[in-house]
């Protein structure tokens, strides 16, 4: 009887030890799973991303590596009469307008006296349907008037190229227009969709619903082809683009060595250029009233590093 009791006690002890081991393993597993869940919850879903205004909405975006970032912040800007004024120490900010035949007869002396120091003038364009190349009919008049008034002059070409060959052709066409001209500022390439046209020749490159590019490789090849030709002729190249293009059309790393001119209309009540990547010229409005210009006109701030003076 005593032997049976001893065996029973031994059995109970073994059973208790086994049960304790099972409970310990189970508890350890529960603790590990809880820790893993906590770790999953603590991971930032937007790690490495930035919150930007893309022209339509505030969205999270993963920025391209190796592209310089815009460092002009609220401490560097203020508003005067609704216009942004640079108050920082790294740059000298010059104000200027950009015009085409749509502004017609500009009084350039009045523009100069209003405080503008430079003008970008459209020299030519490609048609948005058939694709012909045209010199801007007001280019000569605008160029001569701006130079006579003492403004720094830059030129741009309005592109509708659908491949790199056409973009290079546009550059050669522009170079012929300005070959005898003194150009003070970089030569700019401007590819846009004509919004008031029901269809344009570049519609196949973009999504008309969202405005986003369908093929970044192809779209990036267009300014590269144009600006490579311009640079080879001794001019400093410049790319004009808007926020959607900068975020959704182009591989910005491949274009960041060029001077960048960004159309980024000022958000009401704001004072800074809210484009994530670094840029040299900020087109902060497209409907300003400037003495000497009939109707609305684009106005820009050009940030020139103090070291350039």
- Read off the pLDDT of residues 236-272 as tens digits, 9 standing for 90 and up: 999 999 999 999 999 999 999 999 999 999 987 789 9
Is the per-residue pLDDT at 6 higher than 80?
no
The whole-number pLDDT of residue 304 equals: 96
The dihedrals phi and psi of 178, each to the nearest 5 degrees, come to -100, 10
165 in Cβ contact with 172 (< 8 Å): no
Average of per-residue pLDDT across 31-53: 71
Structural domain of 159: 50-308
- The predicted model scores a pTM of 0.85
HSE-CB at 177 with a 13 A cutoff on CA atoms is 27
Our measurement of the distance from residue 101's CA atom to the centroid of its chain's CA atoms, rounded to an integer in Å, reads 26
Average of per-residue pLDDT across 23-45: 55
Round to whole Å and give the CA distance between 206 and 216. 10
The whole-number pLDDT of residue 308 equals: 74
Q: Residues 27-65, buried b or exposed e (16+ Cβ, 10 A)?
A: eeeeeeeeeeeeeeeeeeeeeeeeebbbbeeeeeeeebe
Average of per-residue pLDDT across 195-208: 87
25 with 161, same domain: the answer is no
22 with 154, same domain: the answer is no
Please give the residue that has the higher pLDDT: either 248 or 35.
248
* pLDDT tens digits for range 58-79: 899 999 999 999 999 999 999 9
36 with 175, same domain: the answer is no
In which band, very low, low, confident or very high, does the pLDDT at 37 lie, cut at 50, 70 and 90? low
56 with 190, same domain: the answer is yes
- The CATH number assigned to the domain holding 268 equals 3.20.20.80
7 with 145, same domain: the answer is no
210 with 156, same domain: the answer is yes
81 with 201, same domain: the answer is yes
How many structural domains does the chain have?
2
Could you tell me which of 45, 50, 46, 47 has the C-alpha nearest to residue 277?
50
For residue 52, what are its two tokens? 């930007």
Round to whole Å and give the CA distance between 169 and 150. 31
Q: Residues 175-188, buried b or exposed e (16+ Cβ, 10 A)?
A: bebbeebebebbbb
97 with 146, same domain: the answer is yes
Task: Give the DSSP letter of residue 206.
Answer: B
Round to whole Å and give the CA distance between 107 and 115. 13
Our measurement of the distance from residue 113's CA atom to the centroid of its chain's CA atoms, rounded to an integer in Å, reads 31
25 with 149, same domain: the answer is no
39 with 56, same domain: the answer is no
293 with 163, same domain: the answer is yes
78 with 165, same domain: the answer is yes
């Amino acid at each position: 009887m005593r032997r049976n009791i001893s065996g029973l006690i031994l059995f109970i002890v073994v059973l208790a030890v086994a049960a304790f081991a099972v409970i310990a393993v189970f508890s350890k597993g529960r603790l590990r799973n809880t820790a893993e869940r906590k770790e999953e919850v603590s991971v930032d879903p937007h790690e490495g991303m930035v919150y930007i205004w893309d022209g339509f909405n505030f969205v999270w975006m993963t920025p391209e590596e190796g592209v310089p970032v815009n460092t002009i912040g609220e401490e560097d800007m203020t508003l005067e009469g609704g216009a942004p004024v640079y108050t920082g120490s790294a740059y000298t900010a010059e104000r200027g307008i950009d015009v085409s035949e749509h502004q017609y007869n500009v009084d350039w002396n009045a523009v100069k006296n209003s405080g503008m120091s430079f003008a970008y003038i459209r020299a030519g364009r490609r048609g948005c349907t058939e694709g012909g190349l045209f010199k801007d009919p007001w280019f000569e008049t605008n160029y001569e008037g701006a130079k006579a008034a003492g403004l720094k002059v830059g030129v741009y070409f309005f592109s509708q190229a659908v491949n790199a060959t056409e973009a290079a052709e546009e550059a050669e066409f522009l170079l012929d227009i300005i070959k005898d001209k003194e150009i003070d500022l970089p030569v700019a390439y401007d590819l846009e969709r004509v919004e008031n046209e029901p269809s344009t020749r570049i519609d196949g490159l973009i999504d008309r619903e969202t405005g986003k590019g369908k093929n970044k490789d192809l779209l990036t090849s267009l300014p590269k082809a144009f600006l490579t030709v311009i640079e080879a002729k001794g001019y400093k190249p410049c790319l004009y683009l808007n926020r959607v293009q900068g975020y959704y059309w182009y591989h910005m790393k491949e274009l960041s060595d060029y001077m960048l001119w960004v159309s980024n209309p000022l958000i009401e009540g704001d004072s800074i250029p809210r484009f994530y990547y670094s840029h040299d010229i900020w087109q902060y409005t497209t409907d300003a009233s400037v003495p000497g210009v009939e109707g609305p006109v684009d106005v820009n701030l050009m940030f020139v590093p103090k070291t350039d003076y």
